[in-house]
């Protein structure tokens, strides 16, 4: 079974600064998808960014980018120019190409301080 590990339960950053959240996973599959979801205090699950394992280029969405290291099975999220609205729980998630389910990490609570 796939496992996803987020080793940082909590992180904080000053507004306008950059922060990186870590995620590692374990799988024997060669093709899969990785995601970062954000869960603010409203508890809505919001897709932040996705990465296909067969793509070497790291995904980017505005201030959010990933560092995907397939051999190391690492998938970190970098948030640039942090904003107060980025305060949320961030979940890393894994999905097999052939499967349905998302497997989530334990989450990292990010606090952006003014």
Partner 1 sequence: AAGVIQSPRHLIKEKRETATLKCYPIPRHDTVYWYQQGPGQDPQFLISFYEKMQSDKGSIPDRFSAQQFSDYHSELNMSSLELGDSALYFCASSEKGGGRETQYFGPGTRLLVL
Enumerate binding residues for partner 1 (CB under 8 A). 33, 35, 37, 42-47, 50, 91, 95, 97, 99-107
Compute the chain's Rg from CA coordinates. 14
Closer residue to partner 1 (CB): 16 or 47: 47
**Nearer to partner 1 (CB atom), residue 86 or residue 105:** 105
Could you tell me which of 3, 2, 6 has the C-alpha nearest to residue 89? 6
**In the complex, minimum distance from the CB of residue 106 to partner 1, in angstroms, rounded to a whole number:** 6
Q: Is 86 helix (H, G, I), strand (E, B) or coil?
A: helix
Least gap, CB of 12 to partner 1 (angstroms): 19
DSSP letters, 18-41, are: -EEE--EEE-S-SSEEEEEEEE-T
Smaller CB separation from partner 1, 14 or 99: 99
């Amino acid at each position: 079974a796939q496992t996803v590990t987020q080793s940082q339960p909590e992180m904080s950053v000053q507004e306008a600064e950059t922060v990186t959240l870590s995620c590692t996973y374990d799988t024997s599959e060669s093709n899969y998808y990785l995601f970062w979801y954000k869960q603010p205090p409203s508890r809505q699950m919001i897709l932040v960014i996705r990465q296909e394992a067969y793509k070497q280029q790291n995904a980017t969405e505005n201030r959010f980018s990933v560092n995907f290291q397939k051999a190391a099975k690492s998938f970190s999220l970098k948030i640039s120019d942090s904003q107060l609205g980025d305060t949320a729980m961030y979940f890393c998630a894994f999905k097999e190409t052939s499967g349905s389910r998302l497997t989530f990490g334990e989450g990292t609570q990010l606090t952006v301080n003014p």
